[in-house]
Structure 1
């Protein structure tokens, strides 16, 4: 082991007193200064060489702390850190100024090294030797002064990366004190992002004794970033380094550094500017001081120059002939005189394309005032020139369009003075274009529109670029007023226009058509009277006024009696004239404040406003009936029609719909009670209406849930008294379990249109039941009769529906009889007649029900394919007791047989009636004498009994 190295572990581990004594003997005579220290740094033994280095006696150094030997206090922290590192097993050496504890002692520049005794972890050993002297001619103090005052930063970094010393420049840059920086404290101010990389490089340079140069980013105590340019130079090893053999490997490094933050930030700004210039679509370039050749160009310019390179391109080579002359004279002269030039040039790119550009050249001068470079920024004007050309072409086209447009175009000053009119003014207003220029446009507006037009014009004038439509009437040269739609645009701020531009279109035809449509939307086309929509609106207004004035409103619902007969007999033209005449007579009767409306067909409604008594409505109804009942001349014919009226009076908060419905209900009662009368809506009718509504809801529910029931009343052959079939009679089951008779719901079904669904369900049920009888009672040819309404017969799909039921059930067509009312035939619906023929073609038996009770002509028996007639019970009741009834029945049977028709008598209740019918030759009978309407099981019981007998 040499004295320059710390003791080897084997030697340090000697525990015996003799071994320690021997070791101390060796160190006592060693040439290297050696001392033992406590963990606190107290000198407890030194050899003679240690004292000699300090020019002191050995006994004068005992019990003296190591940092008390320092020449100044600046290195106390450094000594304390050295002792702590040694106790932790890390040996270090430093150059330090020491002096003996004596007033006459001189300061010695020494190299001090401290390490731990492994056998005694709390004991330390120090070595001390004189440090090398500065070069001849420069003493240590002068070197220290130079280092302190150096503009560059200087620091010594040990191989273990601890800072041994530094000048004030480190603190000036980072804000960290030198005491805090020494040791490894300086590393805390290296930016973490590059710290590990720098330290690895520094350590590698120390190990290889190589010079290191680079940039390092530091963080100040305030968190600011500072950039330094740093050079690390290895130092040759000193005697102290060689003695301390266990020190970290590598050479100490001297760091010289300078703050280059401003340069780095300038570089960053230059890089950012370069990126911006590279990204801009404008052409940017740098020219030489003479403005002749390009030295740099951005990407846009480089693409423009393809296939040439920047360094190959002169400015003149890029210009066309005219621009070359301009550039060589006025452009360069302006640059020399004013330092900048702006104008247009024409470039010729590498492919020979000529491109107009807007160019700006700026000269950049150095401190000597001479031009160092010229910057060029140019923007391609090709798209702008193309756009300008398109605008000019568009202006030419626009002028042509305006000159030949069908719409009128005017330009007026804000005050209304006309400065231009297009040629269309002759066609739309009858004026020559020049005749209107200088005149005020407001003089042509309709007086009723003038104020509105002036307000719109003022609003338009006060809002630049505003555009808005307005409609008004304009005076034509012939004195008539024409409707115009005007779109006005404020172009007062446009120097080329300096006014309001009016685009006017004659919309007179459209306005007139709209007025006609509006009239048709609220008026009846035939009579010109208000229709239902306008009626409800007027009625709503009347009710509101009546409530405010505590008056009543009356509604009279009129229906012409037997208008259809008149219409069919005299023709539709006469019928239309009749309706127009009735409308005129009603208008003549009512007061000016009242309203009459036609709802369609022969129905009219009159609103009586401001009534004081309910009787006022009755009096009005009487006057209307008398006026309408007077003879009406229709061409060469004269006819008289009567009127049925329903009256409803509003005294509270009734709605228009409620009032109209109530008057309609009263009208129905008036017609049911004989027509040609007026009837007032009352509580009884209200109760009927409530009951009617209840029945309707019950009927709808029964149809939805298929709860319709069918009973069957037997039809008997009067010759054999045998049952040959049955009539299907519909019933509704009420909530209490009772059956509702057809008289309570059939009319409602007809009125609401539910008769179609009801008839379809009855037909389906009866067809399935009859089909079951065919299979069960084969050989008896039992048929089923089903009643069919006029609405069903008018349905074009009814015959197909019947055919589908026959196919689905398997019922032979000849065993299905359909009974029609006279009303189904009297309406003369073409669809009805077609349906009758289709049913006959299927083989269905057709009968005329309630024969003799309607208003049909006997010609219907011959005209339509009827197979049988049914005598109504009103005639059967008088058989044998009423001569007229007996005669009618007898005649009906005889007439039917003469036409080849079978006869069925309804309402047979007595044996006498049956016997007389047999005597008169009636074919079939039906009535309570034979059986009441029965459910299917009861009918089948009768059939079983008949078969067994």
Structure 2
């Protein structure tokens, strides 16, 4: 238990502490049971920068309002409530003052002794800085990096380490002096910090070597690799701008090695990143290399695919194929427009290979606009042919496309420019799209529906089906996902789900279409359960327009 010095204790008992308390080195503040100041010695007056005659008798929390509900308040309250002394250290922000506190409760109130420990705290901070931070750049040093990396690895989350080495750094030291080399290192540190997230660690590992520690990079290894590569490429791009050193432009490039981790040993992760960096050096410098060759190949393939996608949009390499939408009576109700990529070297690239990349790179927006225009042009052309005049055109819409502020205007403008009938256009939305801003989604759908456009909910049952939003949406059709159809004829759980969806569609006055119908048994089942429409390979795969028209001619 903390005890006040004997001389001070005696002074307190006599009720005449002034002479004794004025002579000690501590600052002293005495409060009554109502938190009013009843005594303050000269040291407290000087330390707290107040005049005694102006604060005597006043409530301490009125005099020092910044301390209300803070550590001082809580500690003093604890001392009074438990009738036990407390001791602690705290930073009084308004005065930038570090204090060491001892508070002693009594029947009369509370006596507080405190002293200024700001110099000691500053020295401790300096020691900490020297121990864990690089003195030239202000970045975490090797020791702090190792601590943070060890913690990140212990969590088991997916992350990545980037090992960065400056190419030809020795040249600036040899030609312009070490002081200019130090200037460059400080500029590099600042540029690296600007290119990463706030939660990432940029450290100077030693000399001209830097480490970037990236944490929480996604759910899969590919997610982590893609995110790490994007940051690495941002760094390479940032280094493309020259560094202005004493009025002269200096060009410096990085070689970056990347390794992805989800646990393991810090030394091993560092070794892998270091080896990857040397691979980048061997590849010609100013480049990025992964430690895992297979991952490197996947990331390179994705990057190449994105480059090809951008080129393809400008070169007109995309085409639409059309899968018939069939009535169960054997007539054709319309067609779903499905984008295909006619790559000059790879041939016809399936959507599963390029749509995810288009989504991630935001190229889905120009691609989606092209699909909408092309589909509406075909729809307008079909209106002039007796064989196709009554057909609908279904077009898939991505979430990022739909949530664009100008989506409604773009659709209406496209219909007007192409001459396509709005009542023949059906937009297919996914359940995940509807989860964001249901109110805004309903408003957009209602505006388009007022113009004649209809809506289908695609892949129904695989997402976050919710009756709370389903009854609010101006939908015309539910499309049962193919995964339920494939097993439905065998009377597994898929059959029960199909029955539920058909009943739900009828209750909400929506038509129901079965996707992925591939066998006669599946078709017989969906007809028996009350589906009005179906699509699938039983009737036809998606076809180029000439083949579709030929198929229609033979119906």
TM-score range, shorter chain: 0.5 to 0.7
Select the residue among 525, 537, 557 that pairs with 2:216.
557
- Residue 770 of structure 1 deviates from its aligned partner by 1.3
1:685 aligns with 2:295: yes
Distance 1:914 1:480, change over 3 A: closer
Relative to structure 1, the CA distance from residue 754 to residue 927 in structure 2 (aligned partners, 3 Å threshold; closer, same or farther) is same
Matching of residue 618 in structure 1 with residue 263 in structure 2? yes
- 1:650 corresponds to which residue? 273
Q: Does 1:876 align with 2:489?
A: no
TM-aligned CA distance change 1:560 to 1:545, over 3 Å: farther
Residues 243-322 of structure 1: pairs in structure 2 closer than 5 A: none
Instruction: Give, in whole Å, the separation in 2 of the partners of 1:681 and 1:823.
Output: 36
Max radius of gyration: which structure? 1
Match of 2:106 in 1: none
Aligned to 2:325: 715
Cα shift at 1:619: 4.0
**Cα-to-partner distance string for 1:854-900 (whole Å, 9 max, x where unaligned):** 12313222121111011111111101114200110111011111110
Cα pair distance change 1:654/1:808, threshold 3 Å? same
SS at structure 1 position matched to 2:554: helix
Compared with structure 1, are the counterparts of its residues 707 and 559 closer, same or farther at alpha carbon in structure 2 (3 Å cutoff)? closer
Higher helix share: 2
Paired residues, number: 323
- Structure 2 portions without partners, runs of 5+: 1-48, 51-93, 98-138, 140-189, 221-230, 232-258, 282-289
Report whether the alignment pairs 1:741 with 2:321: no
Q: Secondary structure at the match of 1:931?
A: coil
Q: Match of 2:466, SS?
A: coil
Match of 1:698 in 2: 308
Measured in 1, the distance between the counterparts of 2:298 and 2:260 equals 23
Which of residues 886, 889, 899 is equivalent to 2:508? 899
User: Map of 1:339-378 to 2, 5 A cutoff?
Assistant: none
Instruction: Assess if the C-alpha contact under 8 Å between 2:317 and 2:343 holds in 1.
Output: no
Residues 823-882 of structure 1 show CA distances to partners (whole Å, capped at 9, x for unaligned) of 110122654333222211211111110101112313222121111011111111101114
SS at match of 2:298: helix
1:370-423, CA deviations, whole angstroms, 9 ceiling, x for partnerless residues? xxxxxxxxxxxxxxxxxxxxxxxxxxxxxxxxxxxxxxxxxxxxxxxxxxxxxx
- TM-score by length of structure 1 reads 0.31
> In the aligned structure 1, how far is the partner of 2:271 from the partner of 2:337?
40
1:925 corresponds to 2:534: yes
Q: Which residue, out of 547, 550, 553, partners 1:938? A: 547
Post-superposition Cα deviations, 1:745-773, rounded to whole Å, max 9, x if no partner, equal: 11111111111100000011111111111
Assess, with a 3 A threshold, how the Cα gap between structure 1 residues 648 and 788 changes in structure 2: closer, same or farther. Answer: farther
Distance 1:894 1:745 in 2: 36
Residue 340 of structure 2 is aligned to residue 731 of structure 1: yes
Give the aligned partner of residue 72 of structure 2: none
CA distance in 2, matches of 1:710, 1:649: 45
Distance 1:782 1:761 in 2: 21
Aligned mates of 1:838, 1:868 — CA distance in 2: 18
Relative contact order: is structure 1 or structure 2 higher (C-alpha 8 Å, sep ≥ 6)?
2
Q: In structure 1, how many angstroms separate the alpha carbons of the residues matched to 2:519 and 2:218?
A: 42
**How far, CA to CA, are the matches of 2:521 and 2:334 in structure 1?**
22
Q: Could you tell me how far apart the structure 1 residues matched to 2:349 and 2:314 are?
A: 17
Cα deviation for residue 805 of structure 1 reads 1.4
Corresponding residue of 1:793: 402
- Partners of 2:355 and 2:363 lie apart in 1 by 9
Unaligned 5+ segments in structure 1 are: 1-428, 431-477, 482-521, 523-529, 562-598, 600-613, 622-645, 659-679
Which digits, 9 at most, give the CA deviation of each residue in 1:707-731, with x for residues without a partner?
A: 211100001001x211110000001
Q: Can you list the C-alpha shifts for 1:323-360, whole angstroms capped at 9, x where unaligned?
A: xxxxxxxxxxxxxxxxxxxxxxxxxxxxxxxxxxxxxx
Residue 734 (structure 1) shift: 1.5
- Aligned equivalent of 1:912: 521
Q: Deviations over 1:534-585 (max 9, x none)?
A: 747985544556959xxx8764335599xxxxxxxxxxxxxxxxxxxxxxxx
Give the deviation of 1:814 after TM superposition: 1.1
For 2:474 and 2:369, the matched residues in 1 are separated by 22
CA contact (8 A) 1:822 1:849 kept: yes
Q: Deviations over 1:426-474 (max 9, x none)?
A: xxx99xxxxxxxxxxxxxxxxxxxxxxxxxxxxxxxxxxxxxxxxxxxx
Q: Distance in 2 between matches of 1:779 and 1:735?
A: 31
Aligned-residue RMSD, C-alpha: 3.8
What are the Cα deviations for residues 266-296 of structure 1, in whole angstroms up to 9, with x where unaligned? xxxxxxxxxxxxxxxxxxxxxxxxxxxxxxx
- Mapped to 1, the partners of 2:331 and 2:442 lie a distance apart of 34
